[in-house]
Amino acid sequence: MNVISNHLPTAELQAIDAAHHMHPFTDGNELAAKGARIITRANGVYLTDSEGHQILDGMAGLWCMNVGYGRESIAQVASRQMMELPYYNTFFQTTHVPVIALSAKLAEITPEHMNHVFYAGSGSEANDTNIRLVRHYWAAMGKPSKKIIISRKNAYHGSTMGGASLGGMTSMHEQGGLPIPDIYHIGQPDWYAEGGDMSPEDFGLMRARELEAAIALFGENKIAAFIAEPVQGAGGVIIPPETYWPEIQRICDAHEILLIADEVICGFGRTGNWFGSQTMGIRPDIMTIAKGLTSGYIPMGGSIVADHVAEAINAAGDFNHGYTYNGHPVAAAVALENIRIIEEEGLIARVRDDIGPYLAKRWAELADHPLVGDAKTVGMMGTLPLTPDKSRRAAFAGKEGTIGYRCRERCFANDLVMRHVGDRMIISPPLTFSHEDVDTLIERARKSLDETYAGAKADGLLKAR
Ligand code: PXG
């Protein structure tokens, strides 16, 4: 029997957590003083905490719980697979049925020219694979000098040395001596924050052309790949202007640069297609997947590899790369069941035609709030930049993120999980959200915005920069 159970008082559990558990992206001392929120169960789109609060999960866990909590069939599939074959590796010329079935299924639902998968345990691991994969590919093609990978400022591609280097988060680079060599970052297509007086269309083109400038700077013979999220997630749900992706695709094609679409957040229905690449109309050579692949029920990630890339890799002999848990049988079985649910319940069409448009309509209503500078969605992702002056899309005069943090705290108090990135509020709810869930989210978000506004006004924090 477990000695530590949900039945200990909250404060006691918090004290044990603070004493022994190091949290990701967290100030440990600050959290120890405050006490972590303890989530004890979840069902559908609601979380329950140790104090009995029913919290609407506007973030689908961490952008991953696409089919919602409490899926009995997933638990049953995992349990059966654990009894039949809990583990075997895919090294040394072996394979197993769950990984065979999942690979065939992924080949079916990914774009037509992509029929190969290299598995990993997470999105970070998959992006580390991608770095090795694209460099090895160009070496196999007789072009070993093509090593540099171009990414974007404020991108998120994971927390491993490779993933964090590809990412464009300077606060991550500052810790641990990153980025690793031969990674270069260009600007992001964030028209709201960086577009100034330009039209979104002109700004999108300008940011895409930074890729061409970077290629000219180093020389085409040095560049292996460009990596980007179809819609930046952790950076603040940054939806690029319509001109951006077509221009990026043109540049990659014109200069023999592999295009890696990081679909860790956008994949598996979030944008109203199987993959964000389809929503943005691009043709990637590699796609990073994780999160929605298993809806977070168990960890799994991978790289979906286009035929021409896989053929070159296969022709070059051993690819000296692999993880113990490549294609883990229980994770593969869970992924298959998760995909079966997405298909059976028509969740992708639902996001595209029903709940996505309804969320877009209700979310847009928040734009009339005095704190809100913009209110956009794509599929089941939304962004809400806060501002003290709508007409200029101005930033707050005080420390960046102060108002966003306050708003997140108000959301928590009002039983809604809505994240903040700086002074932007973001959502990414389960794809199973009902119209009523959207209504509840909007109601709680508006109440939280009202309280944030009143508090910020009282504290004199509404001055513009
Ligand atoms: N790529 C993208 C686009 C991601 O969003 C990863 C790779 C890394 O995946 P793993 O499975 O290694 O975490 C991610 C993960 C946040 C947040 O604060 C976002 C992620 C992870 C943790 C926090 O929004 N995304």
pLDDT digits (tens, 9 = 90+) for 300-329: 999 999 999 999 999 999 999 999 999 999
What integer pLDDT is reported at residue 1 of this predicted model?
42
387 and 393 in contact (C-beta within 8 Å)? yes
39 and 13 in contact (C-beta within 8 Å)? no
Does 284 sit in the ligand 1 pocket, CB within 6 Å? no
- 270-301: per-residue pLDDT in tens? 999 999 999 999 999 999 999 999 999 999 99
CA of 140 to the centre of ligand 1 (A): 30
What integer pLDDT is reported at residue 98 of this predicted model?
98
Q: How many other C-beta atoms lie within 10 A of the C-beta of residue 262?
A: 32
Residue 6 has pLDDT above 90, yes or no: no
**Do both 110 and 85 map to the same domain?**
yes
Q: Is residue 11 a part of any domain in this protein?
A: no
CATH of the domain at 443: 3.90.1150.10
CA of 234 to the centre of ligand 1 (A): 7
Range of the domain at 53: 37-67+346-458
86 is written with which tokens? Answer: 């809990």
From 125, 120, 164, select the one nearest 25 (Cα to Cα).
164
CATH of the domain at 130: 3.40.640.10
**Do both 370 and 323 map to the same domain?**
no
Q: Is residue 127 a part of any domain in this protein?
A: yes
Q: Is residue 2 a part of any domain in this protein?
A: no
Does 290 sit in the ligand 1 pocket, CB within 6 Å? yes
Q: Cβ neighbours of residue 399 under 8 Å, at least 6 residues apart? A: none
What integer pLDDT is reported at residue 62 of this predicted model?
98
CA–CA dist 307, 197 (Å, integer): 43
pLDDT-based confidence at residue 3 (cuts at 50, 70, 90): low
The one-character DSSP state at 290 is: -
Q: Compute the mean pLDDT over every residue in the chain, rounded to the nearest whole number.
A: 97
- 373-416: per-residue pLDDT in tens? 999 999 999 999 999 999 999 999 999 999 999 999 999 999 99
What integer pLDDT is reported at residue 432 of this predicted model?
98
CA of 70 to the centre of ligand 1 (A): 23
**Do both 125 and 205 map to the same domain?**
yes
Does 233 sit in the ligand 1 pocket, CB within 6 Å? yes
CA–CA dist 72, 198 (Å, integer): 51
| Percent of the chain with pLDDT strictly greater than 90 | 98
The domain boundary, picked from 296, 324, 344, lies at 344
Does 229 sit in the ligand 1 pocket, CB within 6 Å? yes
**Do both 266 and 117 map to the same domain?**
yes
- Phi and psi angles of residue 127, each rounded to the nearest 5 degrees, phi first: -70, -30
**Do both 57 and 114 map to the same domain?**
no
CA of 57 to the centre of ligand 1 (A): 17
- 205-224: per-residue pLDDT in tens? 999 999 999 999 999 999 99
**Do both 96 and 239 map to the same domain?**
yes
The domain boundary, picked from 344, 359, 379, lies at 344
Q: Is residue 27 a part of any domain in this protein?
A: no
**Do both 191 and 271 map to the same domain?**
yes
**Do both 171 and 310 map to the same domain?**
yes
Average pLDDT over residues 144-173: 98
Q: Is residue 7 a part of any domain in this protein?
A: no
**Do both 298 and 332 map to the same domain?**
yes
Q: Is residue 31 a part of any domain in this protein?
A: no
Residue 5 has pLDDT above 90, yes or no: no
Does 124 sit in the ligand 1 pocket, CB within 6 Å? yes
Q: How many domains does the chain have?
A: 2
What integer pLDDT is reported at residue 360 of this predicted model?
98
Q: Is residue 28 a part of any domain in this protein?
A: no
**Do both 46 and 175 map to the same domain?**
no
CA–CA dist 58, 416 (Å, integer): 7
Give the global pTM. 0.97
The domain boundary, picked from 315, 344, 373, lies at 344
- 105-145: per-residue pLDDT in tens? 999 999 999 999 999 999 999 999 999 999 999 999 999 99
CA of 264 to the centre of ligand 1 (A): 7
Does 264 sit in the ligand 1 pocket, CB within 6 Å? yes
What integer pLDDT is reported at residue 7 of this predicted model?
72
Q: Is residue 356 a part of any domain in this protein?
A: yes
Residue nearest to atom 18 of ligand 1 (CA): 234
From 30, 31, 17, 1, select the one nearest 9 (Cα to Cα).
17
From 340, 299, 4, select the one nearest 158 (Cα to Cα).
299
Residue 41 has pLDDT above 70, yes or no: yes
**Do both 238 and 311 map to the same domain?**
yes
What integer pLDDT is reported at residue 80 of this predicted model?
98
Q: Cβ neighbours of residue 388 under 8 Å, at least 6 residues apart? A: 371, 394, 396, 397, 462, 463, 464
User: Hey, what's the torsion of the CAs at 99, 101, 104, 108, to 10 degrees?
Assistant: -120
CA–CA dist 304, 308 (Å, integer): 12
**Do both 85 and 60 map to the same domain?**
no
CA of 96 to the centre of ligand 1 (A): 28
Which atom of ligand 1 lies nearest, measured to the CA of 155? 3
